[in-house]
Amino acid sequence: MAKETGIKSWKELNFGIAITTPGNAAELKTGDWRSMRPETDREKCTKCGQCYIFCPDMVYSKDAEGYYVQNYYWCKGCGICAKECPVDAITMIQEVD
């Protein structure tokens, strides 16, 4: 919403309100939407990458050891990763706060 990033004046707009800051949607904390969040048990994880490729919100990224790590800023808690994990390494936990 404009109020989130504060467009104030019509004079600030590009032609056709074109947006020249690629990917700035990433500023929105879609993580606020969730009521459950996924947590990975590293003992079970085989680093197969299914959670990574099945996440509609690009939440997963590989860490230095090759494990896929969640970015909770964006995670909407849909649970696809937990359902699809072939070794059941991911569990959906109730958000408490």
Distance (Å, rounded) from C-alpha 26 to C-alpha 9?
23
* Out of 68, 76, 85, 89, the residue judged to bind another protein by CB under 8 A: 76
Instruction: Name which of 10, 31, 11, 35 is nearest 96 in CA terms.
Output: 35
Residue 92 has φ and ψ, to the nearest 5°, of: -90, 120
**Binding residue for another protein, selected from 44, 45, 59, 95, defined by CB under 8 A:** 59
- Say how far apart CA 34 and CA 78 lie, in whole Å: 8
Which of 45, 67, 69, 71 forms a contact with another protein (CB under 8 A)? Answer: 71
Is the Cβ of residue 11 or residue 42 nearer to another protein in the bound state? 11
Residues that bind another protein (CB under 8 A): 1-5, 7, 9-11, 13-30, 33-34, 48-49, 52-59, 71, 73-74, 76-80, 82-84, 92
